[in-house]
Structure 1
Amino acid sequence: MVYDTPLIVLASTKVGDKSLVLHTLSPGWGRRSFITGTGKGAAMAMFLPLSLLDCEVVENPKSDLWRARSLSVSEPLAGIRGNVRKNTMCLFMSEVLYRTIKDGALEDGLFEWCRGSILTLDALQADFSNYHLRFLLEFAGALGFSPTLEDLAPFAGEHYAVVRDLVQADAAESLLIPMTGAQRNAVASLLLDYIGFHTESQLNVRSLHVLREIFS
């Protein structure tokens, strides 16, 4: 069987000289990996974290690792790819998704929410330094445990006031909350702790230190 599907690239693993395993999110399979052939140069750009693709998936009755072929970019994300700070944020967001969502997990509406979050970041022209914090809050909600201030209080510590402002603000207002780099980093860490607690996983998000450097 051959299926047409959109994909969000979470990460990729090189296999030999001419193949990649794509770790993806899709509306029909949730978190799933596919193998695909690779080109050179510009063609490799489509496999960057959080790339939005369309492709054909070829079922393999002898393996759970199906093949993705005829891949094309559905959204160029020019607003992200041309911006170092957005690219760094994108790397962080994709790693959070990759480390949190388990293989085979299919959460209703998660693909659509992720796609919308990526396109929102792509479209923002300014004031996006807090966007990853809003992303983490909404991601928790998409997983089924929307955080309240009471839920976050045990994780907030000395940053309670900033967390309160973030939780009580709407999406647009949350991007305008003034924070120092240290506050922003601390809130990102505590939100990761909160998500890790609810998903019973240790979220060692390595790209967080890169984000700290860029937005410090």
Structure 2
Amino acid sequence: MLKKTKGIVIGYLKYRDSSIIVQVFTREIGLKSYIVNSVRSTKAKSKMALYQPLTLLDLVVYDKEYRNIHRISEARLDHTFVLLPFDFRRTGIALFMVETLNKCITEHYQNNALFDFLHKLIRELDSEQANLGIFPLAYLVQLTSYLGFEPENAQQFYEQLPINRAGSNHHTKSELLTMLITQGLNGNKTFPSSLKREMMDDLLVFYQIHLENFGEVKSLPVLRSLM
């Protein structure tokens, strides 16, 4: 059955000599895997640029119930990136987002509100106005509301963490977290990089508590160097 939908590329695996299996989080039918044949050959009609992580697509797909791998009938860019692929800070944040999304959503998972949030956030990351200094922190905090474990406030957040995570910077970290919860990317108060790195570590522990098998984030060292 053919279905029209928007999609966000999560990632892909090479398949055989010139094909790929691409994971796409679609708005209407959730996270799906699609085989794209001969896309890595020099004569390919469908270019690999369409399937880079976080690419926003307009799609027409074949969707058959009970199948694990589907096919794409038509794919075109929904948004052409201007800054994201060419800016190492934005690219680092994008890789972090892809890795954490892979840990948070599973095959067939569908959530219109989450899709709309991510679609808007990715376009924000590609804009000159993006507040890169707090972007990954705001992303993690806002994502919790779509995954079902959003903290109501900083106190509730730290009550769920191991007691020794609060540390001597507890008051300032609580101030930063409150800004992220209430203002998101619109927060404009400046905080030291060391404090933001501590906040990142606390947020990842929070995710590990709430999501089974969340585990280690391999892109974290790169992200920490950019904060």
Does residue 160 of the first structure (1) align with residue 170 of the second (2)?
Answer: yes
Structure 2: distance between partners of 1:175 and 1:43? 39
1:103-122 pair list within 5 angstroms: 103-122=107-126
Deviation string for 1:109-132 (max 9, x for gaps)?
Answer: 110111111111112436412110
Matched to 1:163, the amino acid is: K
Tell me the percent identity: 23
Q: Which blocks of at least 5 consecutive residues in structure 2 are unaligned? A: none
Cα displacement (A) at 1:14: 0.9
Deviation string for 1:27-82 (max 9, x for gaps)?
Answer: 12222222113146892222221110112211346732111232111111212122
1:7-86 pair list within 5 angstroms: 7-37=7-37, 38-39=39-40, 43-60=47-64, 63-86=67-90
Pair 106,60 (structure 1): closer, same or farther in 2 beyond 3 Å: closer
Does residue 179 of the first structure (1) align with residue 192 of the second (2)?
Answer: yes
Equivalent residues, number: 214
Moved over 6 A (4+): none
Structure 2: distance between partners of 1:173 and 1:113? 15
* 152-161 vs 26-35, which moves further: 152-161
1:93-112 pair list within 5 angstroms: 93-112=97-116
* TM-score with structure 2 setting the length: 0.84
Cα displacement (A) at 1:133: 0.1
Deviation string for 1:81-136 (max 9, x for gaps)?
Answer: 22111011011011111111122222341101111111111124364121100000
Pair 59,104 (structure 1): closer, same or farther in 2 beyond 3 Å: closer
Structure 2: distance between partners of 1:153 and 1:43? 46
Pair 58,185 (structure 1): closer, same or farther in 2 beyond 3 Å: same
Q: Which blocks of at least 5 consecutive residues in structure 1 are unaligned? A: none
* TM-score with structure 1 setting the length: 0.88
Does residue 2 of the first structure (1) align with residue 5 of the second (2)?
Answer: no
Aligned partners of 2:32 and 2:70 also within 8 Å: no
Q: Which has the larger radius of gyration?
A: 2
Q: Say which SS state the counterpart of residue 47 (structure 2) adopts.
A: helix
Q: Say which SS state the counterpart of residue 78 (structure 2) adopts.
A: strand
